[in-house]
Amino acid sequence: MSMIFEWIRAVVALPFTVLVVIPAIALYFTGYGWTPSAPILLCAGGIFLVVGLLMAAWTMQLFDRDGEGTAAPWAPPRKLVVAGPYRYVRNPMIGSVLLMLMAEALLLRSGVVLSLFFLFLVGNAIYFPFFEEKGLEKRFGQEYLDYKRNVPRWIPRLTPWKSETHD
C-alpha cells in the first residue's frame, strides 16, 4: 500500500505539476482564451497525447516492477531499469511528458504551453547530464556506465540494447 501512496505522490508532484498546474497558471495569467484547433492539430495532438500517456504508464510500470521504486527522488528505483523503451533511450519517461506537453500546446493552440514545452526540454537537457546521471552513476556504478555508453539520452536507438546483466 505504501508503494501506491508513493506513486500517487510522485505523479502529483512531478508530471501533474508540469502538465496541469504550471500550464493552467501560465494560461490564466496570460489571459488565454480557447479557440478550436484545426483538425490536423487536433489529430496530431490526440496522437501525441495517447502515445505520451501509454509511454508514461509503461515506464511507471517498469519502474515499479523491475526497478522496485518510483520516478520520484524520495523513492527512487532500487534496481536499474533497462527493459522496454529503456533499451532504446535512457529517458522515455521525460519523453512521454514532452509528448503530452506538445499535445497540450496543439490541442489548446497555445504558444504559452509550447514555450513551456521548450523550457521543460531545455531544463531537462541541463538537469540530466549534470545532476541525474551523476546520482545514477553513484547508485548503480559500472552497470549504469555500461548502459549510458550504449543507450542514448534523448534520441532512441534503432535496435534494442542487450544488457549482459539484464537479459
Q: What is the DSSP string of 91-157?
A: -HHHHHHHHHHHHHHHHHT-HHHHHHHHHHHHHHHHHIIIIIHHHHHHHHTHHHHHHHHHS-SSSPP
Give this prediction's pTM. Answer: 0.90
CA distances from 75 to 13, 78, 115, 141 (A): 12, 9, 30, 19
Greater model confidence, 86 or 6: 86
Task: Identify the pLDDT of residue 2.
Answer: 63
Greater model confidence, 104 or 37: 104
State how far the Cα of 115 lies from the Cα of 131, in Å rounded to an integer.
Answer: 23
By C-alpha distance, which of 81, 129, 99 is closest to 18?
99
Task: Identify the pLDDT of residue 95.
Answer: 96
108-155 tens-digit pLDDT: 999 999 999 999 999 999 999 999 999 999 999 999 999 999 999 999
